[in-house]
Copies of this chain bind each other. A is one copy, B any other.
Amino acid sequence: MDRVLLSHGSGRGLNLLLDNIVLPVLTDGNSLYTEDAAILQWDSMSKLAFTTDSFVVTPLSFPGGNIGKLAACGTINDLAMMGAIPKYMSVSLIIEDGFSVEKLKCYLKSLRDICVTNNVKIVCGDTKVVESGNCDGLFINTAGIGEFCQGSTMLSARNTSDGDQVIVSGPIGLHGITILAQRGNLSFASNAISDCAPLSAMALHLMNASNSVRVMRDATRGGCAAILNEIAKSSDVTIRLDQSKIPVPDVVKGACSFLGLDPLQIANEGTFIAIVSPSDTQKCLDALHELPEGKNAQCIGTVLKKGKYSVEMITEIGGIRPVEVPHGQLLPRIC
């Protein structure tokens, strides 16, 4: 590997770049990056969660959101998925010379609105301007700090085991198909609306309902396929999905069948996977169904202990097929 390529931006290429180049240098091979956020013992009293994401989405604005909303939701969701309550956010801007001030204000307002409604304080930031042609309009980095309630369960992709149930919080594939439709001007998917949303309220509600939530993960880059494979690998289990249970909106189904894509590999920005103990599955589903944003939550699969890790799916015609991490770069700059 001599050059970083666009295909290293997600899926298997990203794993390759991280595992072979970035993580060995930055962390001496400790794979600290496998969770959505780091959990840090702060003092004898408390832990905190810490995360960061840079947003380079194109187009900057799309049905259901824009780069500002995405930057706020992305960091809030990374904290929420660890079971933390998002508290503080940093906002760092890289702006291209000539960028519209009106658009900048619009995106920053979206970012702030999400923070305000989720009780997250924007407390520090940075602003850089680069020459025209040296960045694509606007890049936003957010970092976030979250706190844990006393006695709260620690979630981890390593926590799941035989018999656990896989829940998805809502319909899948909407963010990726929305971006794809906007970029490709695909009329047959032009009514797709991104699911971009903050997940902290839903995550907290779920954890209050049950103390046997093992893992939560928002299914962003690489979609459900990527995060289910990460969980399966981290816990060394097989995850078996039931295709008939997976909520795929018509617009996603249509676009995927037309373009030969797998809805499980399409990015989401407001949908998460929760893996819960079998005894609490119904309780968890009931809790999610109480919220408007969780009304389509479904149990879509089961965790099996079978030795080698894998993700597989019982198809609608009764076969079993593997669910793989996307190979190349399905769609660059989805977030």
With A92-B141, A332-B130 as given contacts, are A124 and B43 in contact (CB-CB < 8 Å)? no
- Interface flag for A222 (CB, 8 Å): no
When the two chains form their complex, are residues B98 and A332 in contact, meaning their CB atoms are under 8 A apart? no
Known: A133-B133, A136-B130. A104 touches B21 (CB 8 A): yes
A141 to chain B, nearest CB (A): 4
Of chain B, the residue at the smallest CB distance from A334 is: B128
**Interface 1/0 per residue, A34-59 and B, CB below 8 Å:** 00011010110110101111111000
Q: A85-111: contact bitstring with B at CB < 8 Å (1 yes, 0 no)?
A: 001101111111111111011001101
Q: Across the interface, which residues of B come within 8 angstroms of A52, CB to CB? A: 90-92, 124-126, 141, 143
CB atoms of A134 and B135 under 8 A apart: yes
Among A24-32, A162-170, A193-201, A316-324, which stretch is in contact with chain B?
A: A24-32
Once bound together, how far apart are the Cα atoms of A88 and B56, in whole Å?
24
Contacts A38-B88, A50-B145, A143-B143 aside, 18 further interface pairs with beta carbons under 8 A come to A4-B96, A4-B98, A4-B101, A14-B127, A17-B129, A22-B127, A32-B122, A32-B123, A32-B124, A38-B123, A42-B43, A43-B43, A52-B141, A56-B94, A130-B333, A131-B136, A133-B133, A141-B143
Interface residues of A (CB under 8 A from B): 1-6, 8-9, 14, 17-18, 21-22, 25-27, 32-33, 37-38, 40, 42-43, 45-46, 48, 50-56, 87-88, 90-102, 104-105, 108-109, 111-112, 122-131, 133-136, 139, 141, 143, 145, 147, 332-333
